[in-house]
Amino acid sequence: GIQVEQSPPDLILQEGANSTLRCNFSDSVNNLQWFHQNPWGQLINLFYIPSGTKQNGRLSATTVATERYSLLYISSSQTTDSGVYFCAVNSGGSNYKLTFGKGTLLTVNP
Amino acid sequence: EAGVAQSPRYKIIEKRQSVAFWCNPISGHATLYWYQQILGQGPKLLIQFQNNGVVDDSQLPKDRFSAERLKGVDSTLKIQPAKLEDSAVYLCASSLSVATDTQYFGPGTRLTVL
């Protein structure tokens, strides 16, 4: 099946700093989503982005499908950005399951 | 628009007991998923329904896990008998109908098996 690798596994920032999270995948995808899992375990949709670039406030994401990677940018980080960020992909067929990476644990200190 | 609802939020049982989880997807979503998330890992699909039919249950431990979506709306996931390694968060998600649709996740049920 498709492989998803996320980097870095852990990231510690001071409030106000910027960061870039990376997701590499091993096959072509027709669905790629970025999630933020908050300390209570809720998976919150950030972006649906199988290709192209999107922005939502301080967050933006870019997926270069031909090179099989996606980037999540967080600018002016806040303590509420802390949590685990997951990239998840689907490579097509009748099965719509998302295959998740292992996540990036982000800690933003005040 | 209401999100995906799950209950209970937390459950503690002893090994060999049985447990059931309930999920109500977003209205109009034909596809429903159950994922298992073990601490420190990403979620892993257990079963996918399209309306009330099973599309994929290849990673569902069928000797102890079962799931149904009888009327094509809400769904239940059951474990009987539970093992220690079943301790995890069980997440329900839903999407409109096709692979390219966004999946939306519920708050999850945290199961602890003692």
List pLDDT tens digits, range A16-68.
Answer: 999 999 999 999 998 999 999 988 888 999 999 999 999 999 999 999 999 99
Question: What is the average pLDDT score of chain A?
Answer: 94
Disruptive mutation site among A34, A43, A91 for chain B (greatest number of B CBs within 10 Å)? A43
pLDDT value, residue B20: 98
Residue ranges for chain B with pLDDT beneath 50: none
Amino acid, single-letter form, for residue A77: S
Tell me, what's the pLDDT at A91? Answer: 83
- Reported as a pLDDT band with limits 50, 70 and 90, residue A94 is low
Residues of chain B contacting A, Cβ within 8 Å: 31, 33, 37, 41-45, 48, 55-56, 89, 91, 95, 98-105, 107-108, 110
Contacts of A86 in chain B (CB under 8 A): 42-43
Cβ-defined contacts of A26-29 (< 8 Å, 24+): A26/A2, A26/A68, A27/A2, A27/A68, A27/A91, A28/A65, A28/A68, A28/A91, A28/A92, A29/A2, A29/A65, A29/A68, A29/A89, A29/A90, A29/A91, A29/A92
Report pLDDT for A107.
96
Count of residues making up chain A: 110
